[in-house]
Amino acid sequence: MARPSKPKLNTDVIAKAALTLVDKHGEFTLPQLAKALSVSASSLYNHVQGKDEIVELMRGRAMSAIELPQGESESWQQTVCLIATAYWNSYSKHPRLIPLLTSHTVRDRTTLRVYDALAEAFAQAGFGAAQRLQAITIVDSFVLGSALDAAAPQLVWEADDTSSQQFKEALDAGLPMEQRAEVTFTLGLDVILDGLSSIPRS
Amino acid sequence: MARPSKPKLNTDVIAKAALTLVDKHGEFTLPQLAKALSVSASSLYNHVQGKDEIVELMRGRAMSAIELPQGESESWQQTVCLIATAYWNSYSKHPRLIPLLTSHTVRDRTTLRVYDALAEAFAQAGFGAAQRLQAITIVDSFVLGSALDAAAPQLVWEADDTSSQQFKEALDAGLPMEQRAEVTFTLGLDVILDGLSSIPRS
């Protein structure tokens, strides 16, 4: 029987292996990546220019699952809500990727198309150009923070004897684990969209 | 002249060294930490029980800069705003610490006192116990996501030829770098506090 052949090196294989390293260690280096793929570093350079490009490939991989709403029937709130929820779903699976992505300039087209759609939705809402970028950033920050929350341990906080009554009550009344992060993200997104709906346009 | 003596090992020295490693590499191990401090791993264990405890020490270090509002004259919105802003200031200096902290149960007292105060503020706002925990989580997630945004590169997004007009306009109208993250965080926090003010209490 022939040995299974080594998978052919391409940008998909590279991005997938880098994501596995980041999920595990929070970071990756090119030598580690070459080792994980059993190739030489120079083989990697036949496919990518360097680390920045690999970060963009990982970003594209995480963002590719987001289906943009089609058609024009949605309100801007529905459009933003659909995109943000898909975005949260995707990133909550890779919490350790988040700080790596936020520390690099977004250049990946699969990702930029999501921001194109958000900008269109906020323009439809009547936000001027500068305010549009702020609205995008606010939603973006909330999605990423909530994706980290979704990856939190079952016990997020452990109160002690000196904790306030108000905090202890809140912890005791908390939602069951399997719903907590998603229900809270959905409420928070509603709160943000409601808040954005009522700020004066400029 | 005597050689400068090695700093005495204690939990402060350990937390500071671990934070330096996390700021640089996004992670730390006990052997790395021992090496950075020029001590043996067993010396570390004379002061801490293990990695979980060191994570709590780093959390305490980051949260110790937060001064809680004193007195009772503030509105709940002012209280939450003051705490969240101090929290954002502190975490935006250590973006790579964020996913490490969110993946561990909060047990540090310096940190718990901040949640005690947030729970008191949201109780004052009329939120029931379960809703109080959701409000805390929503603010928490927004602060952490915005702290990552504050550590983003000068150029957050680079549009390409196929980018939407609405997105390109937004990028062109963006705030100057030195104000962008802070102004956007402040607006987002206002939007969230406004939104939370108007949801039905339960």
- Give contacts of B130 with chain A, Cβ < 8 Å: 170, 173-175
Over residues B122-147, the mean pLDDT reads 96
Which of A67-71, B42-46, B195-199 shows the lowest per-residue confidence on average (mean pLDDT)?
A67-71
Inter-chain residue contact B167 with A119, CB threshold 8 Å: yes
- Return the H-helix or E-strand segment holding A180: helix A177-198
DSSP-assigned letter for residue A96: G
Q: What is the pLDDT of residue B79?
A: 95
Strand-pairing partners, residue A25, are none
User: Rg of the Cα trace of chain A?
Assistant: 20
Q: Are A171 and B107 in contact (CB under 8 A)?
A: no
Q: Which of B110, B142, B163 to mutate to test the interface with A (most CBs of A within 10 A)?
A: B142
Q: Which stretch, A63-77, B7-21, B63-77, B164-178, has highest mean pLDDT?
A: B7-21
CB contact under 8 A, B192 and A195: yes
Structure tokens at A117: 């759609």
| B19 Ramachandran zone, left/alpha/beta (phi>0; psi -120 to 50) | alpha
Domains of chain B: 69-197 (1.10.357.10)
Task: Give dist(CA A98, CA B148) in Å, integer.
Answer: 9
Mean pLDDT of the residues in chain B: 93
Q: Which residues of A touch B105 (CB under 8 A)?
A: 153, 155-158
Which residue in A117, A143, A195 is closest to B194 by CB distance?
Answer: A195
Is pLDDT of B36 > 90? yes
Kindly report which listed range (B38-52, B92-106, B164-178) carries the lowest average pLDDT score: B164-178
ipTM computed for the complex: 0.94
- Chain B residues inside the 8 Å CB shell of A133: 170-171, 173-175
CB contact under 8 A, B116 and A148: no
CB distance A105 to B155 below 8 Å: yes
Q: What is the CA radius of gyration of chain B?
A: 20
Confirm or reject contact between A153 and chain B (CB < 8 A). yes
Per-residue pLDDT at B192 exceeds 90: yes
Q: For chain A, give percent helix, strand, coil, nearest 5.
A: 65, 0, 35
pLDDT in tens, chain A (202 residues): 566 666 689 999 999 999 999 999 889 999 999 999 999 999 999 999 999 999 999 999 999 989 998 876 579 999 999 999 999 999 999 999 999 999 999 999 999 999 999 999 999 999 999 999 999 999 999 999 999 999 999 999 999 999 999 999 999 998 777 789 999 999 999 999 999 999 999 8
**Inter-chain touch B141–A185, beta carbons under 8 Å:** yes
Per-residue pLDDT of B46-85, as tens digits, reads 999 999 999 999 999 999 989 998 876 579 999 999 999 9
Burial string for B135-168 (b: 16+ CB within 10 Å, else e) reads bbbbbbbbbbbbbbbbbbeeebbebeeebbebbb
